[in-house]
Amino acid sequence: MEWVESAQHDSGGWGSIPGCPRPRVYPTAFALRFLSEFFPSSPAVRAGLAWLRSAQNGDGGWGALPGTDPSAGRASTSIHTAHAILALLAGGQSADDEQVEKALNYLDATFHPAEPEPWPSTSEMEVVDTDAAIDFRHSSTPWVLAALLAARRPISSFTCVASMQWLLHQQHTLGYWSSVLTPGHEPIWATHDALYALNAARQTAIENVAELLIADFRKSEIDLAWTRAFSGFDQAKGLAAYGRSRPSKWLYIWNSALTFFVCLLLLMTLGETTKSISVIGQVLGSLGVALVAGFVPFLYQLAAEEFKLRRIRE
């Protein structure tokens, strides 16, 4: 710890190696997280937090170096923003802190789930000697996911779920993760970063199991509500269509007339038999024919409509 503190610049930040001429966001964030674990109120931590806060860009993000000149490696990136958020939170800042919220908004704005990586991997070169340089390669998505979860972003949110799914899909069948920055190789840091993020997701899930259960229950309730709504909508459409296609009174009159003539033909066929019936019997028979002609089509129409309604409700 003394060595880490001794490597701190007078400005409050840390460089890539001791004696490095300029402090950078990436090593400063790691130094702050380390020191905050043991001495959260130390002068070194306070100075480091002040330097990190001052290095934030106007868009809410951080770059490798303070400033916004892309040609000088100073434009905001998701990886440096994620490390800055983790450092600020480790140093005691709240997730409701204005600078932290601006940083989270930056990460939301740079989230592209349809791209090969939700947040693109980046690399940066730091010259450490006249004939030597360090190539820092960063897998961004794991660290952004870790930062979002540390800032109490719901694990059931679309951003977190999409990031976790992407990480799981990137795992090789042999268990390791690779990086687009090192084609043909399997750098151990890519596996470390992925496991770090997934372990953070695991811990968050354990701590917020009630939230996950409620979210799952809420989703089931919403799905059920939509199913009932669309079912009722389809039924209403069916009833409306049924109402427009209901048989008219003319069809009922036609069925009645047809039934009457059928009964009349039957009586004419049985004419010889009906001659022996009294006048009262013939009158009652005529009334019976009229009732049959009016009632039978009504029963037929009623049964047909009931059948249609049952089909619509099903």
Same domain, 111 and 44: yes
C-alpha span between 173 and 167 (Å, rounded): 13
Same domain, 71 and 131: yes
Residue 132 CB-half CA count within 13 A? 6
Element (H, E) at 124: strand 122-129
Assigned domain for 237 exists? no
C-alpha span between 160 and 165 (Å, rounded): 9
Same domain, 117 and 56: yes
**Residues near 186 by Cβ (< 8 Å), separated by ≥ 6?**
172, 176, 177, 178
C-alpha span between 189 and 155 (Å, rounded): 24
Burial class (CB in 10 A: 0-12, 13-18, 19+), 172: exposed
Q: How many distinct structural domains can be found in the chain? A: 2
Is the pLDDT reported for residue 126 higher than 80?
A: no
15 or 293: which leads in pLDDT: 15
**Average confidence score pLDDT of the chain:** 80
Same domain, 54 and 143: yes
For residue 77, the enclosing domain spans 2-207
- Give the domain-ending residue among 157, 178, 207: 207
Is the pLDDT reported for residue 225 higher than 70?
A: no
Same domain, 183 and 257: no
- What is the structure's pLDDT at 135? 81
253 or 47: which leads in pLDDT: 47
Assigned domain for 46 exists? yes
Query: 122: domain CATH number?
Result: 1.50.10.20
Assigned domain for 137 exists? yes
Same domain, 195 and 55: yes
Q: Is the pTM of this model over 0.75?
A: no
Q: Which of 162, 146, 178, 58 is nearest to 106 (CA)?
A: 58
- What is the structure's pLDDT at 310? 64
Same domain, 172 and 100: yes
- What is the structure's pLDDT at 290? 57
Assigned domain for 218 exists? no
Same domain, 124 and 50: yes
- 114 and 73 in contact (C-beta within 8 Å)? no
Assigned domain for 224 exists? no
Same domain, 201 and 284: no
- Give the domain-ending residue among 177, 207, 237: 207
219 or 194: which leads in pLDDT: 194
Is the pLDDT reported for residue 129 higher than 80?
A: no
Same domain, 41 and 156: yes
Same domain, 166 and 89: yes
119: pLDDT confidence band, cut at 50, 70 and 90?
Answer: very high
- Give the domain-ending residue among 188, 207, 226: 207
Same domain, 140 and 192: yes
